[in-house]
Amino acid sequence: MLKIGIILGSTRPGRRGEVIAQWIHEVASKRTDAEFEIVDLADFNLPLYDEPNPPMLMKYTKEHTKAWSQAINAYDGYIFVTPEYNHAITGALKNAIDFLFNEWKDKAAGIVSYGGGAGGTRAAENLRLILGELHVADVRAQVTLSLFTDFENFSVLKPSPRQEAAANTMFDQVIAWSGALKTLR
């Protein structure tokens, strides 16, 4: 059974990502073709990148890096849940991604973005550039949630039925690609 990590890419207090990651997990839990788990960046408390060696070498010296490596390496693919901050992903997510290299390689990823009127699409595009450098196959289907239309009073998540359909299309693609790329790992 494939394992897919749902990476919660914000560590900010009061973040909307937590409820979105839980909703994505609920939708995913209805499926029987993969196992899904939430991976919360806040649980790892990663400092700004502080390893003396390039991540490609996997010569980690810090316990927080070893724990992060072990967690990420356990998955066959990922769903990134990211807000849009200034047309990009969060600094915390970029930092966490930069800690590792081989653990990401030859895996698939889907993106759930959220933000203002554009639903975080610019953050998703920013993330796609980063993932490409890490040999992560990002899938075309994605979920874009608007704080204006998918939240009530900007705080209570109320996604439309089309959002669940978009999530399932994304899951289909991530699972298919994760299975195909497993042969390369």
Q: Report whether 141 contacts 110 (CB < 8 A).
A: yes
Instruction: Give pLDDT, residue 82.
Output: 98
CATH of the domain at 105: 3.40.50.360
User: Token pair for residue 21?
Assistant: 């990651």
Name residue 34's amino acid.
A
Domain count, the chain: 1
Q: Is the pLDDT of residue 154 over 90?
A: no
Question: What gap in Å lies between CA 114 and CA 74, rounded to an integer?
Answer: 26
Instruction: Give pLDDT, residue 118.
Output: 92
**Residue percentage of the chain with pLDDT more than 90:** 96
pLDDT range class, residue 117, cuts 50, 70, 90? confident
Under DSSP, the state recorded for 18 is: H
Instruction: Give pLDDT, residue 150.
Output: 95
Q: What mean pLDDT value characterizes the chain? A: 97
pTM over 0.95: yes
pLDDT range class, residue 155, cuts 50, 70, 90? confident
What would the pLDDT profile of 53-103 be if each residue is shown by its tens digit? 999 999 999 999 999 999 999 999 999 999 999 999 999 999 999 999 999
Q: Report whether 105 contacts 113 (CB < 8 A).
A: no
Facing residues of 109 across strands? 78, 138
Q: Is the pLDDT of residue 13 over 90?
A: yes
User: Token pair for residue 135?
Assistant: 């040999």
DSSP 29-41: TT-SSEEEEEEEG
Instruction: Name the residue range of residue 28's domain.
Output: 2-182
Instruction: Give pLDDT, residue 68.
Output: 98
What would the pLDDT profile of 18-51 be if each residue is shown by its tens digit? 999 999 999 999 999 999 999 999 999 999 999 9
Of 102, 113, 107, 98, nearest to 10 (Cα)?
A: 113
